[in-house]
Amino acid sequence: MSAEATEKKAPVIKFLAGNEACMEGALAAGCRFFAGYPISPSSEIAEKMSGRLPKLGGKFIQMEDEIASMGAIIGASLAGAKSMTATSGPGFSLMQENIGYAMMAEVPCVVVNVMRGGPSTGNPTGPSQSDVMQCRWGTHGDHPAIVLSPNSIREAFDTTVQCFNFAEQFRTCVVLAMDEIVAHMREKIVIPAKEDIKIVNRKKPNLKPGDPYKPYEADASLIPPMMNFGEGFRYHVTGLDHDATGFPSGAPDNQEILHRRLVDKVEMHKDELFLFENHRTEDAEVLVVAYGSTSRSAKRAVEEARAQGIKAGLFRPITLFPIPEKQIALAASHAKKVVVPEMNLGQYRLEVERILGPAVPVVGVHRVNGEPIAPSLILSAIVGG
């Protein structure tokens, strides 16, 4: 494989697996540091990165575990490199403490979680969507969460680029939640030319050497501009509650300001974060809400229901968090029933129920057997009373 694919001026056609497309997306977004501990079903991302990054002047490190992997990407990002790691459930669990650190210290980074069954080592090679709530609430404390979930190979590329852009824009840790089917299936992908890929870089303060620098002083955007280590400004980074200087501060006012800002900086910009697809929802009396590979089963089920004369539609959140609440409610505005199929026991269904309230019945189609949810199962839920 050529090392220059992401540098080409013209689009490149390839036949790739989701993990490979994710890796290409990361490189296209400017990722130049990867630290990880390979784990199925995410291993190909690390494998391919280890071959490609050095040729692009980047660094690949296989770490001793996932805790260290997360620490390494935080450090690399503070030094200015766009950084990522990739893992699956058991490794994602280990990363949680440092994911919280990245959010608290506002260090941009991307974590890819290719979901497998759990808890614990679970089912290493089977598909699952059972980490959805861990992606949202895995680390402790109130925190922002930006979580994207692709359903195709091209989208694995695009959402990975988006994850980097959001991480850089919002100075936070962004999660790409893929499932094993998207990670391992292969499709044709047209990788866009470099100039057609929108890249966002972290906002830097406009300072001269010697100017005072308050690393956590935010403007109206609530997102502080970020100076990279090694560029002439010393500052303190901590996971403790801190003030604008970066040094620990337990003053109640400071804590309140910090915690609210960390959440609000994402909340106030969330309309920029919503990626979603509406398929035949305009008159849908039965709405299916599905994401990841399950949405492809759902799309088929919707088509089959339409062929039977049932007005079915699909709302597909690509941005799982923040939840596109208004968009879900709008898609459900004609719905007499909502179906939420997931390869877990109802994690996103609970959110949909919360959003829509008791007026609309919400039916879950949940499978945790390591098999994809077949369209026929979703169709039964659409048709059934």
Partner 1 sequence: MSKRYEIRLAGLGGQGLVLAGVILAEAASIFENKNAVQSQSYGPESRGGASKSEVIISDEEIDYPKATHIDLLLCLTDAAAEKYLKDCPETALVIADSDLVPSAIPEKYRSVKAPITRLARETVGKEFVTNIVALGLIQELTGIVGLPALEKAVLGRVPKGTEDLNKRALEVGREAAHEYGAHILSARG
Residues binding partner 1 (CB under 8 A): 13, 15, 40, 124-126, 181, 184-188, 293, 296-297, 299-300, 303, 372, 374-376
Shortest Å, Cβ 182 to partner 1: 9
8 Å CB contact between 74 and 98: yes
Shortest Å, Cβ 151 to partner 1: 9
Of 234, 101, 240, nearest in space to 172 by CA: 101
What's the CA gap between 369 and 372, in Å, rounded?
A: 8
Helix (H) or strand (E) segment spanning residue 146: strand 146-148
Helix (H, G, I), strand (E, B) or coil at 38: coil
What's the CA gap between 108 and 83, in Å, rounded?
A: 8
Nearer to partner 1, 108 or 127 (CB): 127
Nearer to partner 1, 74 or 181 (CB): 181
Shortest Å, Cβ 343 to partner 1: 13
Nearer to partner 1, 186 or 334 (CB): 186
What's the CA gap between 304 and 101, in Å, rounded?
A: 47
- Helix (H) and strand (E) counts in the chain: 12, 14
What's the CA gap between 326 and 218, in Å, rounded?
A: 28
Nearer to partner 1, 45 or 181 (CB): 181
Of 42, 50, 109, nearest in space to 78 by CA: 109
Virtual CA dihedral for 264, 149, 326, 270, nearest 10 degrees? 20
Shortest Å, Cβ 382 to partner 1: 15
**What are the two backbone dihedrals, phi and then psi, of residue 116, each rounded to the nearest 5 degrees?**
-130, 170
Nearer to partner 1, 223 or 301 (CB): 301
Nearer to partner 1, 40 or 255 (CB): 40
Shortest Å, Cβ 32 to partner 1: 29
Shortest Å, Cβ 186 to partner 1: 4
